[in-house]
Amino acid sequence: MASHNELGKEGEEIAVDFLLKKGYTIRERNWRYLKAEIDIIAQFENTLVIVEVKTRSTKDFGDPQDFIKRKQIQLLVMAANEYVVNRDLAMEVRFDIIAVVLSKNTPVEIEHLEDGFLHF
């Protein structure tokens, strides 16, 4: 596996642990629909939370969340809609971003941006 894939998987593990500690329930991980993959589908109270995890080894080129593209957001929204419709869920849906910086020489940085897609 390429090192960037390993970094991404490590970031997702950190994000899952972070969400669990905050009282979220993890419903799915790496859920796929057509060309989209949702990193984490969680639930917090009566809200379904679609989580995109962005992991970087440095902030030298910007914050991890800066690397989310509009096309990726469109695919995630489409996939989330499919998930909700196929499971006949009647709950609010929120799109969050968890940004993780995993540098070898500094502590892990994690930022949880609730409704993170609203900034695009």
pLDDT tens-digit series, residues 51-104: 999 998 887 777 778 788 889 999 999 999 999 999 999 999 999 999 999 988
Residues 6+ apart with CB under 8 A from 104: 57
Please check whether residue 65 is in contact with residue 116, taking contact to mean a CB–CB distance below 8 angstroms: yes
Sheet holding 109-113, edge to edge: 25-33, 36-44, 47-56, 92-101, 109-113
pLDDT-based confidence at residue 118 (cuts at 50, 70, 90)? confident
State both tokens at 90: 């009647």
Q: Which amino acid is at 88?
A: D
Question: Domains in the chain, ordered, with CATH?
Answer: 3-119 (3.40.1350.10)
> What is the CA 86 to chain-centroid distance, rounded?
21
Dist. CA 99–CA 65, nearest whole Å: 6
Query: Pairing between strand 109-113 and 92-101?
Result: antiparallel
Note the pLDDT of residue 106: 84
pLDDT tens-digit series, residues 6-57: 888 999 999 999 999 999 999 999 999 999 999 999 999 999 999 999 998 8
Question: pTM for this one?
Answer: 0.91
Note the pLDDT of residue 4: 64
Check the CA dihedral 4-119-86-92 and report its sign: positive
Dist. CA 58–CA 101, nearest whole Å: 6
